[in-house]
Amino acid sequence: MANPTVVLIPFCVPGHLTSMLNAGKRLLSNSSSSHALSFTVLITQITWVPNHMSEVADLIRREEAESGFEIRFHHLPAVELPVWLGAEDFISRFIQLHAPHVKAAISGLPSPVAAVVVDFFCTTLLDVTRELALPAYVYFTSSASMLALMLRLPALDAEVACDLVEVDGAVDVPGMPPVPAALVPTPLLKKDVNYTWFVYHGNRFMEAAGIIINTVAELESAVLAAVAEDRCVPGRRAPTVYPIGPVLSFKPPGEQRHECVTWLDAQPKDSVVLLCFGSMGGSFPEPQVREIAEGLERSGHRFLWVLRGPPHAPSPYPTDANVDELLPEGFLERTKDRGLVWPKWAPQKEILAHAAVGGFVTHCGWNSVLEALWHGVPMAPWPLYAEQHLNAFLLVAYLGVAVAMEVDRKRDNFVEAAELERAVRSLMGGDSVEGRKTREKAMEAKALCRNAVVESGSSYASLQKLTQEISRMLCVRMTGSA
């Protein structure tokens, strides 16, 4: 008989798909020879973004050629796209339309299905797993703090009649310091259709056999304790949470070193601040570009700035920047001895690993946060969308690994030159008490992250517990006894 398979149902965008694949490979590497597992990935056809499916196809080819694990990819039929009412609504309804295809695909698999793991945007598919009598787990790509908020949200929705953007004060997220209402994730600020979907997903999490999360137990211990003690869902019993992070993939650099890395080779240790804003960020209007340039120039510190051009609709992804048009006249010449403005995609993980990088101005996407913590790089948060404002609060007020930076959310997350200058000086300057404490905390977080994934670590143990539970439930279903 073929090895039992774990079915992964990701939301097929880079940050979510790659993270779930890496988590799946961790799961396979922890399965014993007597309970060997494979996994099957159901791929949705995201046709509304140009070139997106070719990027997914490239990723699949790499996985099939390099992973060394038993992985099968199954492409689901395309569906008619929903009407756009907002990102979270669109994604959730897009996934929901795949329910009959998911049921048919799982039912037709030649291997026994050990479990199904769904991305947190895919909880509508828990109806399918219930119909098939299969255990289902939610894979949560963000922080435990965001998970706690989503579990808390159904009760919070009943408690607060108005939009959260109108709340004057803090939101209670168990295990966290009081969270200013103005810093809750973008889709939660107003009680519209996107907010309603988050309430829905928070409720559906409760039906899962467990929640697999990309964090480290020691990093967010108080929050995870609050979830385990059901303080986020009073009167209800939350699923078991399995923290298995940081889920990261590091490939050896190629023979051809990237130009950014070569430039860093010539810079002193811990002297460069990196400004990079993820796969969908880095493109700013000209007024903001001028403020960034002025702030960096006045800071006096070395910098590597990944500056991107505006997306070409309907794609949400930035293009290569024309730096001569965007940057203030003379900026490149005045900073040529201590700065590099890179106008294309840049290998962020490789850059953060470089000894010359001493600080990171980041959009606070959770993958980027974990990459920085893995390398012990302190941060200055510049959140832009999604849950990034909550992540920024977590980094500053809870973990202490970031220097606070004032971001004007009402002005499309605008940052003044003087504020960027102050934050960079604090982050990079040897005389700053705030900066020194932040760097110390970042190095402590680095040790926690690396200790968690070794054989005696908490994430390793959590993964083993998860694997054993999946194998136990499969044995019960196949033999009728525990």
Report, as residue numbers or ranges, the catalytic residues: 16, 119
Cβ(309)–Cβ(318) below 8 Å: yes
Which residue in 200, 116, 106, 184 sits closest to 145, CA to CA?
A: 184
Angstrom distance (rounded) from CA 281 to CA 257: 24
Q: What are the angstrom distances between the C-alpha of 317 and each of 194, 213, 281, 300?
A: 21, 26, 8, 31
Which residue in 244, 168, 150 sits closest to 465, CA to CA?
A: 244
* Angle (deg, nearest 10), helices 221-228 and 144-159: 50
Angstrom distance (rounded) from CA 251 to CA 164: 42
* DSSP run (H or E) holding 325: helix 323-326
Angstrom distance (rounded) from CA 457 to CA 168: 41
Which residue in 426, 265, 420, 286 sits closest to 356, CA to CA?
A: 265
* Angle (deg, nearest 10), helices 286-299 and 417-428: 40
Two structure tokens written together for 242: 């399995």
For every residue of 49-117, DSSP letters joined together read STTHHHHHHHHHHHHHHH--S-EEEEEPPP-PPPP-S-HHHHHHHHHHTTHHHHHHHHHT-SSPEEEEE
Two structure tokens written together for 60: 């699949």
Angstrom distance (rounded) from CA 261 to CA 250: 15
Cβ(332)–Cβ(368) below 8 Å: no
- Give 409's DSSP letter: G
Angstrom distance (rounded) from CA 84 to CA 313: 14
